[in-house]
């Protein structure tokens, strides 16, 4: 109804010069009026100009007098025409009124206080103080000279005040239709949708935060990387087994049994069940042979390969164990077909936990298996893959893995950190790994791996891995993390 008052007033008047006066004139609080003004302004129904001017306001004492009258007049009114004793008068008014009122009433020559008691000096008084206070309260203009006494009695104070002046806006109407927010089945059935005015979308409106599940940054980055692989034509490998045998995790990868990574200082071995039940026997025999005495032009490691060592169960230390299983599976097919495989999943290493290391983390792994692949293919795929991740500048450094030759560490120049950071490891799988599986001799496999945590920490500006993963993660950080936009940062 406040809205009707504003629109009705503007129908007959050029403007509402001061929203405070208007609020007082229709007897509502200015805050309430302001809300209506903002809504009307939003729809351009009114044109509202904000202004700020300094104004007199009543202080608490002034407000009391505006309501109840000035103490001197209250005191005067308590004195009957025939006079009254001090004691009697004191009983009739409250102590503050008696104290302040009597001194002002004497000063203003309204009453006389003598030995006999208190008597009136005039017949009647108008309460000017109360009148002025009420005018100020209503935002009316009061003469400067009339303010003097109120100021000296500290009943009023000067403060800035924000208000509005209003005129009709371009879309002014006397009565606004309630804008519909939805087109419903009922509207369609009744046919009244034709006459409806729909509320416009406010794309700048702040929305309520969504109170549903939130994605962990690792999951957001995993999703983004997954879609890069899919765009590049890769298929996902099944990584749903954390427990692996040493055979697939190490032996199949031509990693000798004395290798330090196979120590319990680096790897979590399982107590129950401590060893695997079945392995493909033909293939195990070929792996044993290539470790012990080589084959396919290799001398092998020349040590006694132990089956018990290969049987030991562990928590996989890299997803390359899954890649080995997949390549073996591919080699069992009647005729070879090229493949692009990827995986992103969890691995475990028995490491001391610090700012950059946890005992479990996630690996991203990609591989391409085809005839006649070269190191040039690997370099090209890495350039393409990492560019899609937003890392266009790469450098490679020769490295060593038991299962790849050649092997390369991958570095990327980080514009924010202004330095080269290691982002991954790569190589071409060795013939000692591929040929025992039964893959054709001219088939090569190029592969690379990186952690999911490293790019996530860089993307989200997290410098302690424990703030990203594990029990110390702040749930509010998870809630408020932005979406992941790879390649755009």
* Interface positions with ligand PHE (CB under 6 A): 318, 320, 365, 401, 404, 425-427, 447-449
CB of 394 to ligand PHE, least distance (A): 15
**CB burial of residue 177 (10 Å; 0-12, 13-18, 19+):** exposed
Question: What count of Cα atoms within 13 Å lies in the side-chain half-sphere of residue 43?
Answer: 19
Q: Which is nearer to ligand PHE, 6 or 326 (CB)?
A: 326
Taking the least distance from each CB to ligand PHE, the nearer of 7 and 322 is 322
The Cα 159–Cα 322 span in angstroms is: 75
CB of 376 to ligand PHE, least distance (A): 17
DSSP 356: S
d(CA 403, CA 291): 12
Nearest residue to ligand PHE, scored by beta-carbon proximity = 449
- Residue 390 vs 427, nearer CB to ligand PHE: 427
In the block, residue with structure tokens 């700020």: 52
Return the number of the residue (102 or 317) whose C-beta is nearest ligand PHE: 317
As measured in angstroms, the least distance from the Cβ of 256 to ligand PHE is: 16
Residue placing its CB nearer to ligand PHE in the complex, 217 or 449: 449
Strand locations in 237-330 (E): 243-245, 313-315
DSSP 8-class letter at 283: H
42: three-class secondary structure by DSSP: helix
Integer CA distances (angstroms), 361 to 313, 317, 431, 475, in order: 19, 10, 29, 19
- Smallest gap, in angstroms, from Cβ of residue 425 to ligand PHE? 4
The CA-CA-CA angle for residues 261, 264, 269, to 5°, reads 105
Minimum CB distance to ligand PHE, residue 365 (Å): 5
Residue 194 CA from chain centroid, whole number:
40
**Of residues 91 and 329, the one with the C-beta less far from ligand PHE:** 329
Residue closer to ligand PHE by CB (options 130, 401) is 401
Please state the closest distance from residue 334 (CB atom) to ligand PHE, in A: 27
According to DSSP, the β-strands at 404-414 and 419-429 are antiparallel
Q: Is 282 helix (H, G, I), strand (E, B) or coil?
A: helix
Shortest reach from residue 296's CB to ligand PHE, in Å: 19
Contact predicate 166/48, CB 8 Å: yes
CB nearer ligand PHE, residue 366 or residue 436 = 366
Q: How many CB atoms lie within 10 A of CB 247?
A: 23
Find the shortest distance in angstroms from Cβ 428 to ligand PHE.
8
Is-contact 47 7, C-beta < 8 A? no
């Amino acid at each position: 109804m406040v809205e009707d008052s504003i629109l009705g007033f503007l129908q007959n008047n050029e403007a509402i010069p001061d929203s405070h006066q208007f609020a007082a004139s229709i007897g509502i609080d200015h805050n309430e009026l302001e809300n209506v003004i903002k809504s009307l302004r939003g729809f351009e129904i009114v044109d509202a100009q904000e202004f700020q001017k300094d104004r007199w306001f009543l202080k608490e004492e002034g407000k009391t007098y505006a309501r109840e009258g000035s103490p001197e007049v209250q005191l005067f009114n308590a004195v009957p025409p025939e006079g009254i004793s001090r004691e009697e008068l004191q009983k009739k008014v409250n102590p503050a009124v008696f104290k302040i009122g009597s001194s002002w009433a004497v000063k203003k020559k309204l009453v006389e206080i003598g030995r006999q008691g208190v008597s009136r000096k005039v017949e009647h008084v108008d309460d000017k103080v109360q009148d002025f206070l009420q005018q100020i309260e209503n935002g009316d203009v009061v003469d400067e000279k009339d303010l003097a006494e109120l100021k000296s009695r500290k009943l009023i104070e000067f403060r800035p005040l924000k208000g509005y002046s209003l005129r009709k806006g371009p879309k002014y109407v006397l009565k606004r239709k309630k804008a519909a927010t939805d087109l419903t089945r009922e509207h369609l059935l009744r046919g009244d949708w034709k006459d409806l005015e729909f509320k416009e979308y406010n794309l700048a409106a702040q929305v309520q935060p969504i109170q549903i599940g939130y994605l962990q940054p690792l999951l957001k980055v995993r999703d983004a990387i997954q879609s890069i692989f899919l765009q590049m034509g890769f298929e996902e490998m099944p990584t749903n087994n954390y427990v692996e045998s040493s055979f697939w995790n190490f032996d199949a990868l031509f990693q000798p049994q004395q290798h330090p990574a196979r120590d319990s200082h680096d790897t979590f071995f399982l107590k129950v069940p401590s060893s695997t039940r079945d392995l493909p026997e033909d293939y195990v025999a070929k792996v044993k042979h290539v470790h012990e005495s080589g084959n396919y032009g290799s001398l092998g490691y020349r040590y006694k390969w132990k089956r018990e060592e290969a049987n030991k169960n562990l928590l996989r230390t890299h997803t390359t164990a899954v890649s080995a299983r997949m390549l073996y599976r591919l080699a069992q097919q009647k005729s070879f077909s090229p493949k692009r495989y990827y995986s992103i999943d969890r691995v475990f290493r028995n490491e001391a936990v610090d700012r950059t290391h946890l005992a479990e983390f996630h690996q991203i792994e990609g591989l391409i298996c085809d005839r006649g692949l070269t190191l040039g293919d690997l370099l090209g795929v890495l350039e393409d893959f990492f560019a899609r991740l937003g890392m266009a500048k790469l450098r490679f450094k020769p490295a060593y893995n038991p299962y790849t030759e050649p092997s390369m560490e991958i570095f990327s120049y980080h514009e924010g950190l202004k330095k080269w950071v290691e982002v991954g490891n790569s190589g071409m799988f060795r013939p000692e790994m591929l040929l025992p599986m039964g893959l054709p001799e001219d088939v090569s496999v190029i592969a690379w791996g990186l952690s999911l945590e490293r790019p996530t920490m860089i993307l989200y500006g997290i410098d302690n891995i424990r703030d990203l993963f594990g029990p110390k993660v702040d749930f509010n950080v998870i809630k408020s993390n932005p979406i992941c936009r790879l390649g755009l940062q």
